[in-house]
Amino acid sequence: MTAPEEEGEAKTTSNPLNDAEINILKSYGVGPYTESIKNADKDIKDVVQRVNKLSGIKESDTGLNPPHMWDLMYDQQTLQEGMPLQVARCTSIINPGTPQAKYVINVKQIAKFVVGLGEKAAATDIEEGMRVGVDRNKYKIQISLPPRIDPSVTMMTVEDKPDVTYNDVGGCKEQLEKLREVVEMPLLYPERFVALGIDPPKGVLLYGPPGTGKTLTARAVANRTDACFICVIGSELVQKYVGEGARLVRELFQMARSKKACILFIDEVDAIGGSRGDESANGDHEVQRTMLEIVNQLDGFDARGNIKVLMATNRPDTLDPALLRPGRIDRKIEFGLPDLEVRDLLAC
């Protein structure tokens, strides 16, 4: 009996769908406005194509205009008018603030010159120690240049406004409240501290096990304050040659001062901020110089300024006491492992 049944099952074939069933399948996911939306999208694409055709826009691999729109004579004239400039440094100003003011510039590997200003330069834009652009003929100052910053500093993580909000940080409610009090309030409401006559904290130390939200919390505070966020790993400041690490620290703080508001976050600060031991050992003298430069920079800027320094570490016990004393790192916030209640909240 089993064999005939299997033969009967093998002979059964599925029937093809009829037109009514096919129409039912096509209607799945189709709303009352589906056809209208498709027609509107098609009309929009047609209008965009007509506008691009009338305005002369054409997709190109090089990003250049079509050849019939090129103006080679104007481009050549523009190149001839733009004179090449040479970088120099203004070392001193003679008779400053007067129409007869002269400027002593130092052109590297050439000589020093006493020059005047070009047609495009203003006396208020030139200061002593500033980098300037001078023409190669009369060495007149044409433009002022921004400070030179090491490329390794500019390549560090710089975000004008991080995309992390307080809602993205889970299980750190207490730490967020403390951090907002010492970082967010001084940046957003500095007049309150002026009225009370107190100085806000300059720096904050975030410590705790890895993965507890230290970096994420710092990025969220930078987002709330609309501050530029600069993230530096402590080991990046350890350099091979003498004085290089300290120079990077100076240029890092110099770049931070150029921002409207800045949060400087130094992660794994124990790589450069360790306690100073016996100097007679084959000790890390260069690391100590870098740490002392950070201490010097923390002492050198106003607590009510636009820079807040955050440091993070997994080993707070190894940091040098000179770095942690009040006036430099004024607050210490612990990020512990989440308890059972917080874990349930994160799982949801």
For the chain, domains (ranges, CATH) are: 81-145 (2.40.50.140), 152-275+283-347 (3.40.50.300)
Look at residue 283 in the predicted model and tell me its pLDDT: 44
pLDDT at residue number 117: 86
Which amino acid, 89?
Answer: R
C-beta separation of 182 from 201 below 8 A = yes
Distance, first Cα to last Cα, the chain: 57
CA angle 220, 225, 230 (to 5 degrees): 65
Tokens encoding 262: 């800045």
Question: Is residue 98 a contact partner of residue 85, using CB atoms and an 8 Å limit?
Answer: no
Characterise 20 by phi-psi region: left (phi > 0), alpha (psi -120 to 50), beta (else): alpha
Edge-to-edge, what's the strand order for the sheet holding 331-334? 157-159, 228-233, 262-267, 307-313, 203-207, 331-334
The pLDDT value given to residue 56: 59
The closest of 225, 299, 312, 325 to 268, measured between CA atoms, is 312
Give the residue from 186, 323, 315, 324 showing the smallest Cα distance to 249: 323
The per-residue pLDDT string of the chain (348 residues; one tens digit each, 9 = 90 and over) reads 445 555 555 555 667 777 777 777 676 666 777 788 888 989 998 998 888 777 655 555 555 666 777 788 887 777 666 667 888 888 888 888 888 888 888 887 777 888 888 877 888 888 888 888 888 777 788 888 877 766 666 656 566 677 888 888 877 888 888 888 888 888 888 888 888 888 888 889 999 888 888 888 888 888 888 788 888 888 878 776 777 888 888 888 888 888 888 888 888 888 888 777 645 444 467 788 888 888 888 887 665 568 888 999 988 888 888 888 888 888 888 888 877 776 766 666
Sheet with 141-145, edge to edge strand ranges: 111-115, 102-107, 85-94, 131-135, 141-145
CA dist., res. 167 & res. 180, Å (int): 14
Residue 233 tokens read as 């790993």
Contacts of residue 21, Cβ cutoff 8 Å, sequence gap at least 6 = none
Closest CA to 273 of 303, 233, 224: 233
What's the pLDDT score for residue 43?
92
At 86 the pLDDT is 82
C-beta separation of 157 from 264 below 8 A: no
Q: Dihedral sign, CA of 177, 179, 182, 185? A: negative
Q: Are 214 and 312 in contact (CB under 8 A)?
A: yes
249 and 298 in contact (C-beta within 8 Å)? no
* Strand residue runs (E) in the chain: 85-94, 102-107, 111-115, 131-135, 141-145, 157-159, 203-207, 228-233, 262-267, 307-313, 331-334
**131-135 and 85-94 as β-strands: parallel, antiparallel, unpaired?**
antiparallel
CA distances from 198 to 211, 263, 291, 295, 304 (A): 34, 21, 27, 22, 9
CA-based nearest residue to 101, from 78, 119, 122, 85: 122
